Amino acid sequence: MFMNNLIQYISNNISLSENELPKLERLFTHKEYKKNDYFLKHNQKVNFIYFLSRGIVKGYEFENGNEVVKHLVEENNFFTDFDNFQSKSSTIQTFQAVTDCEAFRISKKDFDYILKEFPDFQLFVNSIIQESLSCKMERLSDFQTLTAKERYLKLMNTSPKLIQEVSINDLSSFLGIAPSSLSRIRKQIF
């Protein structure tokens, strides 16, 4: 069932023949993760790209000993440390399940095979990378131009599931504000 999410996501971006679909499906491995399980840990070699079909994942780094949430990934999105995946390097990021999750992952070797076997797939990969970059740029702009309350309201409007499922500490870290400030903002709104 959840493979349908992945195939639909890919099919929305590139055309796949009926012969190509089974080949592509065999290259992705289904995996279930419990809340707090790790997809990728700090200093680990980045061997996979993940497609999240169910659940929420946080991506974080440690800065001055503090966990700083850089990513909150919702269903039907790809994620990994893309830079280090391409270079086969270790990451400074950690990706951890916030809720129980189901995901599909593909190894670097199989990913490279897809790029050779399916020429249109490179366009798809470029669109994922472009989307990731756009999100980072928008997030940076939000930090520069929006107040903490405005950032929270924007997140509430664009991703209400995150507001409901993610802890106050992780949300406040992602929004760049103290948990006590986020609590005050929430009291003002509700």
- Based on the domain organization, do 30 and 121 belong to the same domain? yes
If pLDDT is split at 50, 70 and 90, which confidence band does 2 have? low
Q: Which of 101, 120, 114 is nearest to 165 (CA)?
A: 101
- Based on the domain organization, do 140 and 153 belong to the same domain? no
Number of folded domains that form the chain: 2
How far apart, in whole angstroms, are the C-alpha atoms of residue 54 and residue 161? 12
- Based on the domain organization, do 169 and 110 belong to the same domain? no
> Structure pTM?
0.91
Angstrom CA distances, 144 to 154, 175, 176, stand at: 14, 12, 11
- Based on the domain organization, do 84 and 128 belong to the same domain? yes
Residues 151-186: tens digit of each pLDDT: 999 999 999 999 999 999 999 999 999 999 999 999
Is the alpha carbon torsion for 180, 41, 132, 17 positive or negative? negative
If pLDDT is split at 50, 70 and 90, which confidence band does 125 have? confident
- Based on the domain organization, do 57 and 136 belong to the same domain? yes
CATH number at residue 130: 2.60.120.10
Looking at the chain, which runs of residues are DSSP E strands?
A: 29-33, 38-40, 48-54, 57-63, 66-73, 77-79, 94-97, 101-107
Find residue 59's DSSP bridge partners. 71, 95
- Based on the domain organization, do 93 and 173 belong to the same domain? no
Structural domain span for residue 167: 146-190
| Amino acid 61: pLDDT | 96
Residues 100-112: tens digit of each pLDDT: 999 999 999 999 9
* Residue 12 backbone class (left: φ over 0; alpha: ψ -120 to 50; beta: rest): alpha
How far apart, in whole angstroms, are the C-alpha atoms of residue 29 and residue 133? 26
- Based on the domain organization, do 129 and 158 belong to the same domain? no
More confident residue, 99 or 6: 99
| Amino acid 77: pLDDT | 94
Helix (H, G, I), strand (E, B) or coil at 105: strand
Residues in the chain: 190
How far apart, in whole angstroms, are the C-alpha atoms of residue 95 and residue 86? 17
Residues 58-77: tens digit of each pLDDT: 999 999 989 999 999 999 99
- Based on the domain organization, do 126 and 153 belong to the same domain? no
Taking a C-beta distance cutoff of 8 angstroms, is the pair 99, 74 a contact?
no
- Based on the domain organization, do 97 and 40 belong to the same domain? yes
- Based on the domain organization, do 50 and 28 belong to the same domain? yes
If pLDDT is split at 50, 70 and 90, which confidence band does 34 have? very high
| Amino acid 138: pLDDT | 94
Q: Is 148 exposed, middle or buried (0-12, 13-18, 19+ CB in 10 A)?
A: middle
